[in-house]
Structure 1
């Protein structure tokens, strides 16, 4: 997992030409150390672009003040500064994210963990300042003592910790906010939209001209950006996790920002990227990480067992081999 944004931005909007009385509005901005882009089909009765932009900015700003680990005054930062055996009343967003984290951890039998921040810092991924290192075994074991999502619990409106752990929700935060922005758009009478936040994306409805929203899933290359697959979305979110945007190489080995919570080491296998389609952007965000951690064999078995719509992209020398699950094929077969 990586801070402050977990998912690699693999989905880019494809726009087309159309003739219609309806129009597509768009707002963009910065959030979570990256960017967002929100498009929707304007119709009679929908808010003005400026109004909706202000509302979305407020949603994102409030969320940042609640969950950011990059500012000392956020609710989550203040919780992280507390010692073991402490509890603190937290906003609903934090409690919901931790709740989803527990679900993902249980479903994946420990391959998902919201307390990996100290490991990211140890390996030099915290902040992406280029100071990546391979720690020695003693250092690694010491930091592992401060990792463990099982030490977190929710009691009513309070978040509690039984050990000196720190919470970092960046693995699912962007997907969570995609869902929240979508809920806001629906409440404002907007049913055709494409919401993208730091690479996590969800789209539904039809564009003017009765065409679907389309996205391009990139090929997991280090050197250039190239479309691997074009997918139509109508109510699905898409999330991709990969090892090719945030990594370092040492003595001929690639160390990515995705960690095995048990060993405390970056995952190292031939699985280059995993794309997940799901009706929840937050769940897609988390599941793409889970599958990448599990790897090509165990991840595939997990995806089949849990009926996850996932596209596995594996390295084969200098080439890439795609392996879609049956659920992924069923959702995208109309694209062929």
Structure 2
């Protein structure tokens, strides 16, 4: 989805090199890239990756002992304060997006088979049942306590977990190691930049790739900002000649349609992940409205069958369009 413009040569034309540390987590590869010469680069990168491991253990729905899994099982619990803060932010993003982004969609994800990556079309009854157990409107949040009002409702943090993990990892780099220039990513779909690279005051350059052909959708420059991209490039199935992607529309209970890819830049990677998901689900109309009400949000949305993306709220020094073919 995202083509990180890292120099691979030890002496790249840009004049600087990067130390890159990576680790598998959340079913993808996370990477921390630091300018060569950064003090304590290796232990700092390892500490940041350790935080990501710890957060996977808290947020995953694939481990029975995780805090999210235990909450899904019980339907009521006092949760760790930082997790409560994240759930509260997610509830706010659900309201702002008119339900296009919603982490309380675990029942739908299972109904469509994406939980085990075994996609299937549910029956009308199965879909209706899953919809009755979907939506943050059924989740009560109060003073670190969480309660589900719908039996069988399940949270799934897949649309925001990687970005949140990057935010927390970057927090460690800043607070504990005094690092203010770095680029972190989780699988390419979630990115967070600290400061700028040594040779470009605009920020860390990240190329947005077309989801289905070898073509660029432009380059964004990140300076203390997150970037999230949503697309159904890899996770989908075909049934009766029709493609069904893994990004579900919580409002309809079906895979989102009409958008090929959506990217968002925001002050945090978690928010960028959430807003890219919302824009992918609801398309350019919502992207336009969100960009008007949120001055720090930028969006790039490519509709199905469109040649060029629509760009919202990104200045020329933040986004460079692709070169003409």
TM-score, normalised on structure 1?
A: 0.85
Supply the distance in 2 between the matched residues of 1:306 and 1:57 (Cα, whole angstroms): 31
Aligned to 2:312: 325
The alpha-carbon deviation at position 35 of structure 1 amounts to: 0.6
Supply the distance in 2 between the matched residues of 1:166 and 1:151 (Cα, whole angstroms): 10
Aligned to 2:144: 157
Supply the distance in 2 between the matched residues of 1:89 and 1:326 (Cα, whole angstroms): 39
Aligned to 1:25: 19
**In structure 2, do the counterparts of structure 1 residues 36 and 52 end up closer, same or farther at CA, with 3 Å as the change threshold?**
same
Aligned to 2:101: 112
Aligned to 1:3: none
Aligned to 2:71: 79
Aligned to 2:197: 207
Aligned to 2:266: 278
Structure with more contact order per residue of length (Cα contacts < 8 Å, sep ≥ 6): 1
Of the three residues 241, 247, 250, the one matched with 2:239 is 250
Q: Secondary structure at the match of 2:228?
A: strand
Moved more, 205-214 or 293-302: 205-214
Does structure 1 conserve the Cα–Cα contact (< 8 Å) formed by 2:34 and 2:183? Answer: yes
The alpha-carbon deviation at position 205 of structure 1 amounts to: 3.2
**In structure 2, do the counterparts of structure 1 residues 19 and 306 end up closer, same or farther at CA, with 3 Å as the change threshold?**
closer
Supply the distance in 2 between the matched residues of 1:217 and 1:280 (Cα, whole angstroms): 18
Of the three residues 120, 132, 136, the one matched with 1:133 is 120
Aligned to 2:57: 65
The alpha-carbon deviation at position 326 of structure 1 amounts to: 3.7
Supply the distance in 1 between the matched residues of 2:245 and 2:14 (Cα, whole angstroms): 45
Unaligned runs of 5+ in 2: none
Aligned to 1:47: 40
Count of matched residue positions in the alignment of Structure 1 and Structure 2 = 315
Q: Secondary structure at the match of 2:184?
A: strand
TM-score, normalised on structure 2?
A: 0.88
Unaligned runs of 5+ in 1: 1-8
Does structure 2 conserve the Cα–Cα contact (< 8 Å) formed by 1:63 and 1:93? Answer: no
Of the three residues 91, 98, 102, the one matched with 2:91 is 102
Asked whether 1:296 is paired with 2:284, we answer yes
Asked whether 1:143 is paired with 2:130, we answer yes
Aligned to 2:257: 268
For residues 5-26 of structure 1, give each alpha carbon's deviation from its aligned partner in whole angstroms, at most 9, with x where no partner exists: xxxx424233161587x86322
**In structure 2, do the counterparts of structure 1 residues 65 and 333 end up closer, same or farther at CA, with 3 Å as the change threshold?**
closer
Aligned to 2:179: 190
Supply the distance in 1 between the matched residues of 2:238 and 2:171 (Cα, whole angstroms): 41
Supply the distance in 2 between the matched residues of 1:225 and 1:107 (Cα, whole angstroms): 34
Supply the distance in 1 between the matched residues of 2:226 and 2:14 (Cα, whole angstroms): 27
The alpha-carbon deviation at position 96 of structure 1 amounts to: 2.1
Does structure 2 conserve the Cα–Cα contact (< 8 Å) formed by 1:232 and 1:332? Answer: yes
Aligned to 2:31: 37
**In structure 2, do the counterparts of structure 1 residues 61 and 156 end up closer, same or farther at CA, with 3 Å as the change threshold?**
same
Aligned to 1:220: 211
Asked whether 1:232 is paired with 2:221, we answer yes
The alpha-carbon deviation at position 192 of structure 1 amounts to: 0.9
